[in-house]
Amino acid sequence: MNQDIYVIIEHLQGQVADISYITLAAARDLAQETGGKVLGVLLGQNAQELASTLAADSILYADHPALAEFTSDAYQKTVASLIGENEPRAVLFGNTSIGADVASVLSARLSLPLVSSCVKTSGGKLTSQICGGKIMAESELAETTTLITVIPGGYKPESGQSETAPEVILFDAPALDDLRVTLKGYIEPEAGDVDISKESILIAIGRGIQTEDNIELAEELAKFLGGTVCSSRPIVDQGWLPTSRLVGKSGQTVKPKLYLALGISGAPEHVEGMAESEVIVAVNMDPNAPIFDIATYGVEFDFFDLIDPLLEQVEEAKEG
């Protein structure tokens, strides 16, 4: 085993995902402890140019038609053979629709330990965030190659970007025949609804809103504030708002002037989509809700007791 840290680079439709830059920054932190290099692992077809912005010592690149777009089977096979040949100290993935499909399968296939939802890797300590951000868990690199999935929050994407293109080293993908998973095509998000990533004032609702009827209250507030209603995952999964209003992982990343979070606990999957908002106001009854750790202003109060006086005063201010 060597001391190098590998990062599986994620890209979709010709663009490197932010999580890969974040993961490169986490890898750099880890490599400082192990004394190894940071190597990006890029899989694709005619995708070598995607390496140019990656802050890595070098990029290992495999070019193959079956790797043109992500599929779990082809990625698993390719990364498995690479790990088997090179035995790096650790392999980092984004804890995403791409990375999570690969990391766990390889843990079982190669009998390698897996640490998931890692937010920080400083000082050789792997700090994971679980239970919706309410619990931190600390672990260490194992004696063998350790697989790690990374979530946003600990590192900025900019720290994993570079202006000088790293050296690219080609490697051969293994035989990629008889793949059991293939991509038929992409379905673009439905156009027509508002683009919440362009709105400057967002009223976000979460599980705390309790029933579909209560969304009206948020709509009314949004009308007075000139904003738009968006939400965390449970609201969209209930079918109360369209997917176009989803903020966070698998939804939109937003940076409005004002983000008013009503009944949102602040699980990492949501926070990664709104943490960069200019002013965050959070209303939640749970004093331990992680949203209060990233909000500018916090209100520990029952939203349903607050909403009537708030609507009244906002309306007055608007008219005055």
Residues 44-103 that bind another protein (CB under 8 A): 69-73, 96-98, 100-101, 103
Determine which residue in the list 41, 62, 82, 105 makes contact with another protein, applying CB under 8 A.
105
Shorter beta-carbon distance to another protein: residue 38 or 247? 247
Residues 219-278 that bind another protein (CB under 8 A): 224-227, 234, 236-239, 243-244, 246, 249-253, 257-258, 265, 267, 278
Say if residues 154 and 120 touch (Cβ distance below 8 Å): yes
Shorter beta-carbon distance to another protein: residue 40 or 251? 251
Site string for another protein, 113-152 (x = CB under 8 A): xxxxx--------x-xxxxxxxxxxxxx-x------x---
21 binds another protein (CB under 8 A): no
- Three-class DSSP category at 6: strand
CA atoms within 13 A on the CB side of 304: 7
> Is there a binding annotation on residue 64?
no
Shorter beta-carbon distance to another protein: residue 105 or 217? 105
Q: How far apart are CA 206 and CA 105, in angstroms?
A: 32
> Is there a binding annotation on residue 207?
yes
Nearest Cα neighbor of 170 from 48, 78, 23, 4 is 48
> What's the token pair of residue 139?
């672990």
Residues 171-230 that bind another protein (CB under 8 A): 180-190, 200-201, 224-227
Say if residues 157 and 99 touch (Cβ distance below 8 Å): no
Position 95, amino acid: N
155 binds another protein (CB under 8 A): no
295 binds another protein (CB under 8 A): yes
> Is there a binding annotation on residue 263?
yes
Shorter beta-carbon distance to another protein: residue 158 or 278? 278
CA dihedral 14, 6, 182, 68 (to 10 degrees): 30
CA distances from 164 to 6, 40, 62, 285 (A): 19, 14, 21, 48
Position 27, amino acid: A
Q: How far apart are CA 307 and CA 310, in angstroms?
A: 5
305 binds another protein (CB under 8 A): yes
> Is there a binding annotation on residue 269?
yes
Displacement of CA 142 from its chain's centroid (Å): 25
Determine which residue in the list 34, 58, 81, 107 makes contact with another protein, applying CB under 8 A.
107
Binding residues for FAD are: 207, 232-233, 263-270, 284
